[in-house]
């Protein structure tokens, strides 16, 4: 198995409801190494750029409004098969349909307020990690 890096974002709903620590602990208890972390409030243009792949979707404006509604915590996670492992830990996109014990089931509400984002492929992970963290920060 390959050592991979992926981007995780703790979304405004989970930060506002005080679950940042719970979600970080969930990763660490599952052997995930957190190699970068930053709390920030995304601007409208940052959120639009981050979710550009969804710009033609009907939920795009609501998604951007939600992601800019409060602070988020961006992290780079590292581990064996990390992209798929993160998706397993997160659960299904819609918190209402996510399996019990997953982050989205435990800390999210619905398909929009779903507590966390995670990259969905190696290609996306490379783009998304670079969107939030520079190479210099990772080597610091």
- The site map against ligand CMP for 65-94 (x = CB under 6 A) is ----------------------------x-
Closest contact distance (angstroms) between CB of 47 and ligand CMP is 10
What is the sign, positive or negative, of the torsion defined by CA atoms of 121, 75, 130, 52? positive
Nearest to 128, CA basis, from 14, 9, 3, 38: 9
Q: How many CA atoms lie within 13 A of 94 on its CB side?
A: 2
Annotated active-site residue 117? The verdict is yes
> Quick one: which segment of 25-33, 39-47, 96-104, 112-120 binds ligand CMP (CB under 6 A)?
112-120
* Rg for the chain, CA atoms, rounded: 14
- The site map against ligand CMP for 17-46 (x = CB under 6 A) is ------------------------------
Question: Under the rule (CB under 6 A), what is the footprint of ligand CMP?
Answer: 54, 59, 63, 93, 111-112, 114, 117
């Amino acid at each position: 198995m390959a050592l991979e890096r992926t981007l995780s974002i703790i979304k405004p709903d989970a930060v506002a409801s005080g679950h940042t620590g719970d979600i970080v602990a969930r990763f660490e208890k599952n052997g995930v190494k957190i190699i970068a972390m930053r709390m920030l409030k995304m601007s409208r243009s940052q959120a639009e750029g981050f979710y550009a792949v969804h710009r033609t979707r009907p939920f795009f404006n609501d998604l951007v409004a939600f992601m800019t509604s409060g602070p988020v915590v961006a992290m780079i996670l590292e581990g064996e098969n990390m992209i798929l492992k993160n998706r397993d830990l997160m659960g299904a996109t819609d918190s209402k349909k996510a399996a019990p014990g997953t982050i989205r089931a435990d800390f999210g509400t619905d398909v929009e307020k779903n507590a966390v984002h995670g990259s969905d492929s190696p290609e996306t992970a490379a783009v998304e990690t670079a969107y939030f963290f520079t190479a210099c920060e990772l080597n610091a």
